[in-house]
Amino acid sequence: MTALDTERATADAAATGAAVKRGYVKQMFSDIAPHYDRVNRIISFRLDQWWRRKAIRELNIERDPAATYLDLCAGTMDISSQIGAGKGFKGSVVAADFAEPMLRAGLEKVSPDVVRPVTADALDLPFADGFAAGAIVVFGIRNVVDLNGALREVYRVLRPGARFVILEFGATQNPMVGWIYRLYFNHLCPLIGNAVARHHSAYNYLPKSVAHFPTEADLAQRMRDAGFDSVHWRSYTFGVVAIHVGEKKRVGDRVSVAGPASPHSR
């Protein structure tokens, strides 16, 4: 077995969720950090930033523009910088990621007065219960070794009634996209991505990790199981991506459903 074979085998194992996943993912993103944004724009035909804007809209920041929001698995902080630059935003963003080189690669995009990068693991966040008015994770949660654990940890750090938004690749079965998309995503993306990122396996891991990620309905159920209410999702671009939204239960939710109309009833 050559070194390349070994690396690709590790990437394949990581994509299935094997024990090597955490180490592989952390090292791989640290390695590709300087090239990450460029590859995203190229392989998504710049749709990635449009998807991000859609996801941020779901956070409902205008409900509390002066509050603190969590950008989990923040990477190079595209989401944090978009939230921070949002019209009327007066709050702050905590950008958490366990691969420090990713956060460093995005430092130029963000104002230190608004965005606070924090090196942290999604499974053990160094934040108090209920500290965030909303949380968002974009193309990140698929990479966390324990999905249910990450959902529970996000739930813990949200304040009651706060929203959690997930943007991830979908399990598209759309005949409009079909085999052309699969050819592109499974074969061309790895070639282009690895070449631009100067990496041997990062963009082989990408489609394989998507294939092993729960379907949209499964992910919604996992969010419910973690405690989230009002869980729903919507697919974009022929199902290439999906945005899931859930809310942390409000204190006294049951009472407000049965009782007189309250400002929080839906």
Ligand X SMILES: C[S@@+](CC[C@H](N)C(=O)[O-])C[C@H]1O[C@@H](n2cnc3c(N)ncnc32)[C@H](O)[C@@H]1O
Footprint of ligand X (CB under 6 A)? 25, 29, 73-75, 78-79, 97-99, 102, 121-123, 138-140, 143-144
83 vs 59: CA distance, rounded Å: 10
* Least CB distance to ligand X at residue 47 (A): 13
Q: Which is nearer to ligand X, 59 or 144 (CB)?
A: 144
224-to-150, 215, 227 alpha-carbon distances in Å: 13, 14, 5
Is the Cβ–Cβ distance between 205 and 219 less than 8 Å? Answer: no
Is the Cβ–Cβ distance between 76 and 33 less than 8 Å? Answer: yes
Residue, CB closest to ligand X: 75
Q: Which is nearer to ligand X, 138 or 157 (CB)?
A: 138
* Least CB distance to ligand X at residue 242 (A): 15
Q: What are phi and psi of 3, to 5 degrees?
A: -60, -35
Rg (CA), the chain: 18
Q: Which is nearer to ligand X, 169 or 233 (CB)?
A: 169
Residues contacting residue 261 through CB under 8 Å, at least 6 positions apart: none
Q: Which is nearer to ligand X, 22 or 250 (CB)?
A: 22
Let me know how many helices (H) and strands (E) the chain has, helices first: 12, 7
* Least CB distance to ligand X at residue 73 (A): 3
Give residue 184's identity as a one-letter amino acid code: Y
- Mode of pairing for the β-strands spanning 132-138 and 158-169: parallel
Q: Which is nearer to ligand X, 136 or 220 (CB)?
A: 136
232-235 long-range contacts (CB < 8 A, ≥24 apart) are: 235/170, 235/172
Q: Which is nearer to ligand X, 103 or 262 (CB)?
A: 103
Q: Which is nearer to ligand X, 223 or 241 (CB)?
A: 241
* Least CB distance to ligand X at residue 20 (A): 13
* Least CB distance to ligand X at residue 258 (A): 39
* Least CB distance to ligand X at residue 25 (A): 5
Place of tokens 């070994």: 6
DSSP SS3 for 184: helix
Residue 137, beta-bridge partner list:
72, 166
Is the Cβ–Cβ distance between 247 and 265 less than 8 Å? Answer: no
44 vs 240: CA distance, rounded Å: 10
* Least CB distance to ligand X at residue 32 (A): 9
